[in-house]
Every structure is written in structure tokens, then in C-alpha cells.
């Protein structure tokens, strides 16, 4: 308790009235000192100041004491993980449907099923290299070259027309239409029925799904280099995406 006395000074007393200290002056730096007119005075301490409630904040949840906050919300195909006070908030992809302003469809990560690159596959109809799982748009046999169609499925590449090109992969499974199987994007492939000229370039053929040493030469046909022969029965498949149309 703080009170005034006839003797000069301000007294601070215990609640039982016992004086503890006398001061000539008390300065209040964060509040107000009021003379109550009855021999006592009141000290009102201002509330501690903090961040302004009206400032702009990003919050995890809305707070009634803030007037201008923005709540952080995960959008389509995203997830927020809050590890709690003093820790991180993680924004991660959770799969699902692509945002409406995207091209549409479903978000997918390519599945790489083989990245071995030995130049000498030891078994007939096998490939070593970068391979991925795809959906076939028509029947694909082992060793045939494929393009991607407008539905995102893989069909036979054919050098006869630009609409059926370019070849982007080589089947290392036999796939029925709409089935899922393995396509090699780049690497070595062995087929014991091959009879290539070692070191010779390979091109997409006008026979759908086939490779050839012969450069297409008829008007409208597409020239695409697909790789070269490592041996008579093994090729290195590395398709160029450059097409040259025969006039």
C-alpha cells in the first residue's frame, strides 16, 4: 500500500500498516500515478506492449485477438503438417487431383523400374537402362518402338507420318491394349533375331513399331535416329526427338 503522510515523503506500507520505506518521489514510467484524495494514491500499470494486433500475419488457425491475419491453408493435392510450437510447418504433395488451373488429370510421378546400363544384356529380349511403367494404347510386342498418343497412352511409332511419331520408348514387355507394362526410354536391348551392322545408325521404320538401318526416303516420311548397333544382336536405344520430314 502506498499512502501520503504529514511528514514529507511517500510511504510504502505492508498491508498491516507497518511502514517499510519512505521516498521523496516515485516515478511511474509505464502507467499513471493518481492521488485518491484520501491520503492514498493508485498506480495503474499499462498493459505490456507486444506485436500490434492489426498488423498482417500468416497464422495456422484464426485468432480472435488478431484483426488482420491470414490463415495458411493447403491447396489441392497439398498437405500441411504442423510439428507444434517452436517447430516447422511442412507443406508436402499428397497426390490426388491436379489444381483446376492445371492441364487437368491426375498427378503422377514416373516409376523408374531399372537404371542398369550394362552394354551386354545376357538374355534374349532383355534391356538394361532407364525403364518406366506405361499404359499401352494398343498391343505392343517386345522390341517394338512406341510413341505417346493424345490420351497419354503408348502406341506403335510409324515413320510414314508425323501424326504417328516420334518414337520415345522401346517395349521390353508384351503389352495388351490398356495394360500396364515396362517401356525402355534409354539403354541397351538384346534380341537374338537381330542381324545389325555393328556401329550402324538405327532409324524408325515405315513398318509400324520397327527399327531399320535404312533412312526413310518417301515424301512425307519422318526421319528419326533412335540409336546404333552395339553388336549384331544388341542395340543402344537413345531416341532423338528431332524429326526430319522428307519433302
Residue 142: predicted pLDDT: 96
Structure pTM?
0.56
122 and 82 assigned to the same domain = no
Q: Which residues of the chain have pLDDT under 70?
A: 1-30, 39, 45-51, 53-54, 94-119
Domain boundary among 65, 83, 109: 109
Residue 158: predicted pLDDT: 98
94 and 149 assigned to the same domain = no
132 and 210 assigned to the same domain = yes
103 and 119 assigned to the same domain = no
Handedness of CA 186, 191, 193, 199 (dihedral sign): positive
160 and 218 assigned to the same domain = yes
131 and 236 assigned to the same domain = yes
Residue 21: predicted pLDDT: 58
Task: Give the structural domain span for 210.
Answer: 114-245
71 and 150 assigned to the same domain = no
DSSP output for the chain: -EEE-SSSSEEEE-TTS-EEEEES----SSEEEEE-SSSBEEEEEPPPP-S-TTS-EEESS--TT-SSEEE----TTEEEEE--TTS-EEEEE--SBPPTTSS-SB-----EEE----S---STTEEEEEEEEEEBSS-B-TT-EEEE-TTS-EEE--TT-GGG----EEESS-B-TT-EEEEEEEEEEE-TT--PPTT-EEEE-SSTT-EESSPP-STT-EE-EEEEEEETTEEEE------EE--
Residue 15: predicted pLDDT: 59
C-alpha to C-alpha distance for 126 and 198, rounded to whole angstroms = 19
Residue 35: predicted pLDDT: 75
Domain boundary among 92, 109, 126: 109
132 and 105 assigned to the same domain = no
Residue 103: predicted pLDDT: 47
Residue 20: predicted pLDDT: 59
Number of domains in the chain: 3
Residue 2: predicted pLDDT: 47
C-alpha to C-alpha distance for 55 and 69, rounded to whole angstroms = 8
227 and 137 assigned to the same domain = yes
118 and 232 assigned to the same domain = yes
217 and 149 assigned to the same domain = yes
Instruction: Tell me the β-bridge partners of 170.
Output: 145, 184
124 and 237 assigned to the same domain = yes
Amino acid at each position: 500500500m502506498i499512502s501520503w503522510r504529514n511528514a514529507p515523503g511517500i510511504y510504502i506500507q505492508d498491508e498491516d500498516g507497518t511502514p517499510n520505506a519512505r521516498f521523496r518521489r516515485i516515478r511511474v514510467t509505464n502507467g499513471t500515478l493518481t492521488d485518491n484524495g484520501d491520503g492514498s494514491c493508485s498506480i495503474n500499470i499499462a498493459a505490456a506492449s507486444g506485436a500490434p494486433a492489426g498488423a498482417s500475419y500468416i497464422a495456422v488457425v484464426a485468432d480472435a485477438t488478431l484483426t488482420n491475419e491470414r490463415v495458411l491453408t493447403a491447396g489441392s493435392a497439398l498437405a500441411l503438417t504442423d510439428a507444434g510450437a517452436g517447430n516447422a510447418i511442412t507443406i508436402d504433395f499428397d497426390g490426388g487431383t491436379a489444381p483446376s488451373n492445371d492441364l487437368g488429370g491426375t498427378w503422377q510421378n514416373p516409376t523408374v523400374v531399372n537404371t542398369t546400363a550394362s552394354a551386354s544384356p545376357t538374355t534374349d529380349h532383355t534391356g538394361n537402362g532407364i525403364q518406366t511403367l506405361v499404359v499401352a494404347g494398343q498391343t505392343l510386342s517386345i522390341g517394338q518402338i512406341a510413341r505417346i498418343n493424345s490420351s497419354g497412352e503408348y502406341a506403335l511409332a510409324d515413320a510414314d507420318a508425323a501424326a504417328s511419331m516420334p518414337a520415345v520408348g522401346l517395349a521390353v514387355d508384351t503389352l495388351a491394349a490398356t495394360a500396364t507394362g515396362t517401356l525402355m526410354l534409354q539403354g541397351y536391348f538384346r534380341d537374338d533375331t537381330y542381324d545389325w551392322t555393328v556401329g550402324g545408325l538405327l532409324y524408325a521404320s515405315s513398318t509400324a513399331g520397327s527399327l531399320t538401318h535404312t533412312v526413310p526416303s518417301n515424301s512425307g516420311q519422318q526421319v528419326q535416329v533412335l540409336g546404333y548397333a552395339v553388336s549384331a544382336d544388341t542395340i543402344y536405344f537413345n531416341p532423338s526427338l528431332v524429326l526430319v520430314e522428307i519433302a
